[in-house]
Structure 1
């Protein structure tokens, strides 16, 4: 069931207004991609909190002015979302950065200068998805 700013999961009630708005928007998009509610909610909250932490004030102000998410909003769907939902999360060194990427995805969800930061983020993503983390060495071999 999609949500709006007046009807949203109880787990979002303690988020500040703009973070809640972002979480609802993300959660609704995940629901459109056939994520089950019990998985969409924690993923959306985690991603919204990360967005709120990383976004500059200009981006936040722009998002704040956008229309509030509605239950009837349409979202572009991703046919690979179901497959990626169950995919393990990998930490790989590519393009001179540590990348956090779901196995089978076309692009990384995050990149970091330091491996330990990437591993921490991968663990958060995997926990939200209920999957495992695979950590690779710089040379591309799987770390034990």
Structure 2
């Protein structure tokens, strides 16, 4: 069942308004892509909180000024929904370890150590029920 800003899962009630709005939008996109509610809700919350932490003030304001999500919104072309089943990559570039979902446009995060990158990649992959693929500093795939 899709949600809107007046009717949403109890798990979202304590989120900041803009984070809740983002979580509802993500959750509705997941439902449109045949995710079961019990998977869509925690993924949407985690992704919305992550988005809020990593976004600057202008990006948050831009999203907040968009229309509120509605139950009947079309998410056929929701860009990030296609990435939710993709594996999470760990690779070394520009003197940093990067964590990026396969086929995403940019990394989720960057780290000084591979251990920190691996911890973050595992967190993302566990949330999405996908795999972590790790590369060495010289770009070779690790087993």
TM-score of the pair, normalised by structure 1: 0.78
Shift of 1:62: 2.4
2:30, 2:97 → 1: CA distance? 26
1:102, 1:51 → 2: CA distance? 14
Q: Which residue of 1 aligns with 2:128?
A: 129
- Structure 1 residues 31 and 99: CA distance shift in structure 2, 3 A: farther
4+ residue segments displaced more than 4 Å: 84-87, 94-97, 106-109
Q: Which residue of 1 aligns with 2:139?
A: 140
Contact conserved, 2:12 with 2:20, CA < 8 A, in 1? Answer: yes
TM-score of the pair, normalised by structure 2: 0.78
Secondary structure of the residue that 2:71 maps to in structure 1?
coil
Secondary structure of the residue that 1:25 maps to in structure 2?
helix
Query: What do you get for the CA RMSD once the two structures are aligned?
Result: 2.8
- Structure 1 stretch 29-38 or stretch 9-18: which is displaced more? 29-38
Shift of 1:129: 1.6
Secondary structure of the residue that 1:128 maps to in structure 2?
helix
Q: Which of residues 85, 110, 117 in structure 2 aligns to 1:112?
A: 110
- Structure 1 stretch 31-40 or stretch 93-102: which is displaced more? 93-102
Shift of 1:30: 1.8
Determine whether 1:30 maps to 2:30: yes
Q: Which consecutive unaligned segments of at least 5 residues does structure 1 have?
A: none
Q: Which residue of 2 aligns with 1:67?
A: 67
The alignment of Structure 1 onto Structure 2 pairs a total of residues equal to 142
- Structure 1 residues 35 and 91: CA distance shift in structure 2, 3 A: same
Shift of 1:118: 2.7
- Structure 1 stretch 11-20 or stretch 61-70: which is displaced more? 61-70
